[in-house]
Structure 1
Amino acid sequence: MHKRNEMMDRPVVSEEVRDFLRTAQKQLKGTLGEIEKEANEKRVPVIPHETVTFFVWLFGQIKPKEVLEIGTAIGFSAGLMAEYMDEEGKITTIDRNPTMIEKAKANFKTLEIEDKVTLLEGQANEWLEKLDDSKYDFIFMDSAKAKYYDFFPECMRVLKQNGVLAVDDVLQGGTILEEDSEIPRRRRKIHKKLNAFLEIVMDHPALDTTLLPLGDGLLLITKKEDFDFSFMKTQVTEDKS
């Protein structure tokens, strides 16, 4: 079972604008469109349609050939990227949830993209450490929000120079700017880790970063030059000790 994401119902723009972005823009056709429709009807947390249309546009501009995804879920976003990337392109996607993995595999088979997608089953941090340096043109991170800070150093290591990292759901339904004391205790760790993550990446000299109010906030980071972000991993270790 997937966990219901309460932030799905807290738009970071007005509901009228959000609904316009989701209904007025070009809709997906065929099997991929059916998967999107079913996911939305069943409240499965896939990327919203305004992010879908943005990815279609973005992939037409950057034309990635090697894509890494952290957080497969039911495989919808991987299916979308597979359809709009280079014909010879490949996707590596990571997930640890057995139920989601089963659904993703079924969708990859239905979409006939099994030859383009490699699904790595298990913990993302363990898999990330095994991946080659500067391998990927594009990385999409849509996993546990409290882990974005932890995963970021390895993402920068495996991302090519001038490659793009897209990070989903960083605005937490617009609550990201609230004080810690105003955040429910169950979400306080996510709130702190996301703010610490944003503080580092939003104005870092090695990065070009922009934050778009699509869905629950889509952060785009271009790796302009190599930089060792391993100090963030050290900080995570110290926090646990």
Structure 2
Amino acid sequence: MIVDERMVTYIHSLETPESPLIEQIEQEALDTYVPIIRKETQSFLKVLLMMKKPVRVLEVGTAIGFSALLMCEYLPENGHITTIEKYEKRIPIARENFKRAGKEDRITLIEGDALEVMRSLEGPFDFIFMDAAKGQYIHYMPEAIRLLSKDGVLMSDNVLQDGDIIESRFAVERRNRTIHSRMRKYLYELKHNDQLQTSIIPLGDGVALSVKKTMTVEDKGELQNEE
């Protein structure tokens, strides 16, 4: 727990319910131990989408489709989501959930390895939601930047690993050390990439919010040279 548990409980108590179907799918995920975004992260995501009003959204990590359906509720009428999932057992459940919600025409699910799929896609996307294998974020990053529109937003979820991110790698369980080191590298690269402006927020299990700059340092240098 990154934030005081009593504070999180209080914030949860203020939330208003979604549609009955989305609430039902959320409960089904919890009952079957499928990881989904936490309540406070859901709230943050909804506000972002209403502010940004993205038309093209890419989600990396569909699971059973809960996040895609939630995002769909807060997109403009012409908004469309492309979502990627490779876990075969969850794909039919996600497709069925999209059908239950009547959103098949607004959500395209692509099956396969996320990195391979991302390499095959053409941008730009206005908003990318990263919620897949945490140890792979660093590998997805170049493609995410390529696919993102100028002023586009990249939201990466679960980046603080329940607070373990600040620990020495030797204080982390051996089986989690690779993910730990890769996530630390990912956060460093997000903060130091000259194409992005990034804020790391201790919300839920940690959110990194990045905006693709309209002009890089190199662009500014070229502009000054022209003047």
TM norm structure 2: 0.91
- 1:157 maps to which of 146, 153, 163: 146
In structure 1, the residue matched to 2:225 is none
SS at match of 1:153: helix
Residues 143-154 of structure 1: matches in 2 within 5 Å? 143-154=132-143
Gaps of 5+ in 2: 217-227
1:125-204 equivalences under 5 Å are 125-132=115-122, 134-204=123-193
Match of 1:19 among 9, 16, 32: 9
Aligned to 2:121, what secondary structure does the other structure show?
coil
* Residues 102-113 of structure 1 mapped to structure 2, 5 A cutoff: 102-113=92-103
Task: Output the amino acid matched with 2:130.
Answer: M
Contact between 1:140 and 1:167, CA under 8 Å: does it hold in 2? yes
CA distance in structure 2 between the aligned counterparts of 1:159 and 1:205, rounded to whole angstroms: 14
SS of 1:202's partner is helix
Residue type matched to 2:18 in 1? L
Q: Distance in 1 between matches of 2:146 and 2:93?
A: 30
SS in 1 for 2:57: strand
The answer on 1:123 being equivalent to 2:113 is yes
**1:102 Cα offset (Å):** 1.1
Equivalent residue number for residue 211 of structure 1: 200
Deviations 1:100-133 (A, max 9, x none): 101101100011100011111011111111111x
Structure 1: how far apart are the matches of 2:178 and 2:41? 26
Residue 38 of structure 1: how far off its partner (Å): 2.7
Corresponding residue SS for 1:129: helix
- Which residue does 1:71 correspond to in 2? 61
Q: Percent identity?
A: 41
Equivalent in 62, 76, 82 of residue 92 of structure 1: 82
Measure the CA separation in 1 of the matches of 2:173 and 2:38: 25
Which one has the largest radius of gyration?
A: 2
Separation in 2, partners of 1:178, 1:199? 15
Tell me the CA shift for residue 226 of structure 1. 6.7
Aligned to 1:237: none
Aligned counterparts of 2:13 and 2:94: Cα–Cα separation in 1: 26
Scaled by the length of structure 1, what TM-score is found? Answer: 0.86
> In 2, distance between residues paired with 1:148 and 1:95?
14
Structure 1: 4+ residue segments shifted above 4 A = none
Aligned-pair distance for 1:219? 0.8
CA contact (8 A) 1:207 1:225 kept: no
Q: CA RMSD in A?
A: 1.3
Aligned equivalent of 1:38: 28
